[in-house]
């Protein structure tokens, strides 16, 4: 049933994702508009809202098509007014910001990178033989540790392990056996990325100068107990190893996703055990 509330919700989603269609639906154009909106989101919360709305439209697209066939006149009673919920930035301000999410497809395992800094504003990570890659001719790849679902391993193209990216018991992220030029520092709202030489030079009592941040990572899930999430990588310093930084952000997202899946599996197993008579 196509209700007035559904029509209004679709119109709001189209408006926020800057897909201002009034006559003929085109999913490719919708995707392009949504991707452009995502790459220009100001904050992580805006990106999460954008992915939520995209997911709603993706799941309801067949119903939306029926709505355009049967209720288009009612749909067009609403005016497009531009972004009011999702805050977006200019093209210049969008440069240096990268979003990683598994909310762009119905396949939860498919990971996408979106950024205005790339010629192709959104693309899927490569995945083959258990390896995630960012670029086809890239220098690195990541894969899950065989020993722990809360750990990923970063390798170079010679298959040398450069570090383990680990989710701690308190859900913090740290680098183990680190041979990279970077180090991660967990704050309340983000993960800071610093030059490892700077961090190594500090005494235990020294305070880390956040002005020395090279980049940082923010991330969250779309809903409580959701498998869908978004990570936001902000790169502040020039001439950084972007591919490696993207892998840090992707790993942060992936190890937490594995943790959530493990929690769900444990819950289901316990429910099954408790139901035995």
**Statement to judge: residues 146 and 219 lie in one domain:** yes
**Statement to judge: residues 47 and 140 lie in one domain:** no
| Range of the structural domain that residue 54 is part of | 4-75
- Summarize pLDDT for 9-66 with one digit per residue, the tens: 999 999 999 999 999 999 999 999 999 999 999 999 999 999 999 999 999 999 999 9
Rg (Cα) of the chain, in Å, rounded?
21
Determine, yes or no, domain membership for 81: no
- Summarize pLDDT for 104-141 with one digit per residue, the tens: 876 667 899 999 999 899 999 999 999 999 998 999 99
Number of domains in the chain: 2
Which of 75, 99, 114 is the endpoint of a domain?
Answer: 75
**Statement to judge: residues 133 and 204 lie in one domain:** yes
Determine, yes or no, domain membership for 101: no
Determine, yes or no, domain membership for 99: no
**Statement to judge: residues 136 and 223 lie in one domain:** yes
Which of 75, 98, 114 is the endpoint of a domain?
Answer: 75
Q: Burial letters for 154-187: b for 16+ Cβ neighbours within 10 Å, e otherwise?
A: bbeeeeeebbbbbbeeeeebbbeebebebbbbee
**Statement to judge: residues 70 and 133 lie in one domain:** no
- Summarize pLDDT for 59-69 with one digit per residue, the tens: 999 999 999 99
**Statement to judge: residues 137 and 228 lie in one domain:** yes
Cβ-contact 122, 38 below 8 angstroms: yes
277: exposed, middle or buried (Cβ count in 10 Å: 0-12, 13-18, 19+): exposed
**Statement to judge: residues 147 and 243 lie in one domain:** yes
Determine, yes or no, domain membership for 30: yes
Q: The tokens of 172 are what? A: 């913090």
pTM of the prediction? 0.89
- Summarize pLDDT for 223-276 with one digit per residue, the tens: 776 778 899 999 999 899 999 999 999 988 788 767 666 555 444 444 544 454
């Amino acid at each position: 049933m196509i209700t007035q509330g559904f029509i209004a919700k679709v119109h709001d989603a189209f408006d926020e994702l800057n897909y201002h269609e009034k006559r003929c639906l085109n999913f490719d154009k919708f995707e392009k508009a949504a991707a452009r909106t995502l790459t220009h989101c100001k904050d992580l919360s805006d990106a999460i809202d954008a992915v939520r709305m995209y997911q709603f439209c993706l799941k309801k697209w067949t119903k939306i098509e029926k709505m355009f066939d049967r209720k288009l006149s009612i749909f067009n009673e609403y005016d497009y007014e531009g972004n009011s919920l999702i805050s977006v930035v200019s093209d210049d301000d969008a440069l240096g910001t990268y979003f990683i999410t598994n909310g762009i497809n119905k396949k939860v395992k498919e990971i996408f990178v979106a950024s205005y800094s790339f010629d192709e504003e959104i693309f899927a990570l490569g995945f083959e033989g258990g390896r995630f890659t960012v670029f086809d001719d890239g220098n690195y790849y990541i894969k899950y540790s065989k020993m722990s679902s809360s750990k990923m391993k970063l390798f170079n193209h010679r298959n040398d392990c450069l570090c383990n990216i680990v989710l701690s018991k308190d859900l913090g992220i740290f680098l183990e056996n680190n041979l990279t030029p970077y180090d991660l520092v967990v704050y309340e709202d983000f993960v800071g990325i610093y030059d490892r030489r700077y961090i190594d030079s500090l005494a235990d009592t020294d305070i880390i100068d956040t002005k020395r941040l090279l980049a940082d990572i923010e991330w969250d899930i779309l809903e409580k107990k959701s498998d869908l999430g978004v990570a936001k990588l902000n790169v502040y310093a020039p001439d950084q190893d972007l591919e490696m930084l993207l892998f840090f952000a992707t790993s942060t997202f992936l190890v937490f996703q594995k943790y959530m899946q493990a929690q769900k599996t444990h819950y289901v197993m316990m429910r099954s055990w408790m139901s035995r008579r």
